[in-house]
Amino acid sequence: MMKINDLSRRNFLNLVGVAGGSTAIYQTSLAMGVMSETGKPAKLDLKQVKGEKKSVLVLGAGISGLSVAYELERVGYQVTVLEASKRIGGRNLTLRHGDEIDELGQKQICEFDDDPKMYFNAGPARIPGHHRRVLQYCKMLKVPLQIKTNFSRPAYTHEADHFGGEPIRVSRYIADARGFLSELLHKAVDKNIFDESLSPEEIEKLRDFVKNYGDLKADGTYQGTIRGGIKSGGMVTPSASHEPIELRALLDSNFWRSGLVSSENPDWGDPLMEISGGMDGIVKAFVEAIRSEIVTNAQVQSIRNTTEGVAVEYHHGGKRKQLKADWCFNSIPSHFLPSIPNNFADDYIAGLSAMSRGNFFKLGFQMKSRFWEDEGIYGGITRTSQRINQIWYPSADIHSEKGVVLGAYAFYGQSGFFEKMTPAERLKFAADCGEVVHPGYKDQIEAGVSVPWGRMNHMMGCGVRWSDEVRAKYWDRLRLPEGRHYMMGDQISYHSSWQEGALASAEFAMQDMDKRVRAADAAIAEAK
């Protein structure tokens, strides 16, 4: 018999998740010290410096850079933002009619309808309910939010080598998995396996619990359930459930590894939100609120700490220019920094060089009809063993004429497959894959667009991958400043690839700078 102390932490958390949902697993993880809580965003009590002519340079107009410009401008700093690309927002990218995709060597123009409902979030696409910094700024800046369905039981799981190659509803997999596991547990109860650890009353409660959890028959066997969807009837005739999928088939598949408990991850479980009209709504709100200059097409040429602060040279409008400031906040992708001339310490550059860069690939299709709703799918994700990996269905604008689906989402090592293709080849490949899940899929496609983040200009990747060894060696060094220069962004966080990580990093850097400013001012006052 497996005892509690035989369980790994991961297995235990999976059990907690299955039984108690995302809230249970999140709280249990915190208690076990497996993950750290993002916590409430700090109330930034930054020192007012109005009239003191203190200046800040922000490198990169992504979400972290915009938050720094917004916050420091409010307390009186003179702020200038330099952005290398022609677009503000960094990896927060929402594509609409006429937008150009800035992929190196390959030009794409988004050919979606000129309709505010036709957009594709090629970067951030969901906001977990515990990402409180993002949510706080949405509230402060009056950015409208809506609920996003991320995990949908009517969606499909599809594996080419399992279930006859046919997609099956997620609800069937979950219901049958729970049913058979509950039957096995019920048999274990009948064999008195738990007699030493549970009282007779508790054993009876466990037996009832297992029956209810798996929808077992009175004899403790699992013979199918309408929880997996109704095969027929249910209105004017009795409901008929599907025949159960064999336990061996369920175990042989990969869904229990890749998708079964995905909704129990605090970043992917309820509640999830998205910004109404496109995730770049928060970028637009920041830009509207910021009075400071944001210079686009500004290519940084050098960064140097000086005795007075930081000096940055950049190329803009065909000229090489220089700006000096008291402080510098830098969200340039870490793998670019070693090649930019600087006077940083060797160990600082070594840390930046040691981080590996992740790659993601996303592809969106405008569909002529919302055919997935005819299949009972109103948001959520279908997972497939094909290289497209996932298909996302929109939660908003239900019963509209058209809709945009995410037709491929490849990450980590998978994205390289699509990076080698032309845009037209990517669209054809993804369309063929979608046809396997939804017959008639290809006929529904009106336009498509793809974003390989490993080939995007000024990005060349996204989502830093920290190894345990690299983090142990360099994390503290990179989180703290090099002179008056701070690295920030999701790359300098424990929550890489998320806007919340980027904002938390910016928050930490601003607080650290503020402590130094207050200490310096206090020393000057004491010397007088």
Distances (CA, A) of 350 to 231, 404, 475, 492: 60, 43, 11, 15
Contact between 317 and 333 under an 8 Å Cβ cutoff? The reply is no
Cα–Cα distance, 56 to 293 (Å, whole number): 11
Question: In the structure, what pLDDT confidence band is assigned to residue 51 with cuts at 50, 70 and 90?
Answer: confident
Main-chain phi, psi angles of 245, to 5 degrees: -75, 135
8 A C-beta contact, residue 383 and residue 390: yes
Q: What values do phi and psi take at 410, rounded to 5?
A: -110, 140
Average pLDDT over residues 202-218: 94
> At 329, phi and psi to the nearest 5?
-115, 120
What would the pLDDT profile of 255-301 be if each residue is shown by its tens digit? Answer: 988 888 888 888 988 899 999 999 999 999 999 999 999 999 999 99
Predicted pLDDT of residue 196: 80
Confidence check: pLDDT of 72 > 60: yes
Domains of the chain: 55-89+286-354+468-527 (3.50.50.60), 94-154+270-279+359-455 (3.90.660.10), 172-253 (1.20.1440.240)
- pLDDT of 429 reads 98
Predicted confidence (pLDDT) per residue in 291-325, tens digit: 999 999 999 999 999 999 999 999 999 999 999 99
pLDDT tens-digit series, residues 516-526: 999 998 998 88
The mean pLDDT value of the chain amounts to 90
Q: How far apart are CA 65 and CA 498, in angstroms?
A: 14
Give the pLDDT band of residue 190 (cuts 50, 70, 90). confident
pTM of the entire predicted model: 0.90
Residue 330 tokens read as 């830098």
CA distance 306 to 109: 43
Share of the chain above pLDDT 70, in %: 92
Owner of token pair 């922000």: 58
The residue among 333, 317, 291 whose CA lies nearest residue 59 is: 333
Helix (H) or strand (E) holding 315: strand 310-316
C-alpha–C-alpha distance, residues 100 and 107, integer Å: 7
In this structure, how many other beta carbons lie within 10 angstroms of the beta carbon of residue 505? 27
Q: What is the pLDDT of residues 314-373, one digit of tens each?
A: 999 999 999 999 999 999 999 999 999 999 999 999 999 999 888 899 999 999 999 999
Is pLDDT at 117 greater than 50 in this prediction?
A: yes
For residue 398, what pLDDT is reported?
96
Q: Write the pLDDT tens digit of every residue in 406-422.
A: 999 998 778 999 999 99
pLDDT at 2 over 70: no
Taking alpha carbons only, the member of 384, 383, 382 closest to residue 160 is: 384
pLDDT for residue 35 = 43
Task: Return the pLDDT at 41.
Answer: 65
Burial group, residue 24, by CB count within 10 angstroms (0-12, 13-18, 19+): middle
Task: Check: CB of residue 255 under 8 Å from CB of residue 383.
Answer: yes
User: What pLDDT is recorded for position 40?
Assistant: 61
Residue 457 has pLDDT above 50, yes or no: yes
Name which of 456, 523, 422 is nearest 85 in CA terms: 456
**pLDDT at residue number 192:** 86
Of 373, 383, 443, whose CA–CA distance to 409 is shortest? 383
User: Looking at residue 360, what is its pLDDT?
Assistant: 93
Q: Tell me the Ramachandran region of residue 395: left when phi exceeds 0, alpha when psi lies from -120 to 50, beta otherwise.
A: alpha
The predicted structure's pLDDT at residue 21: 42
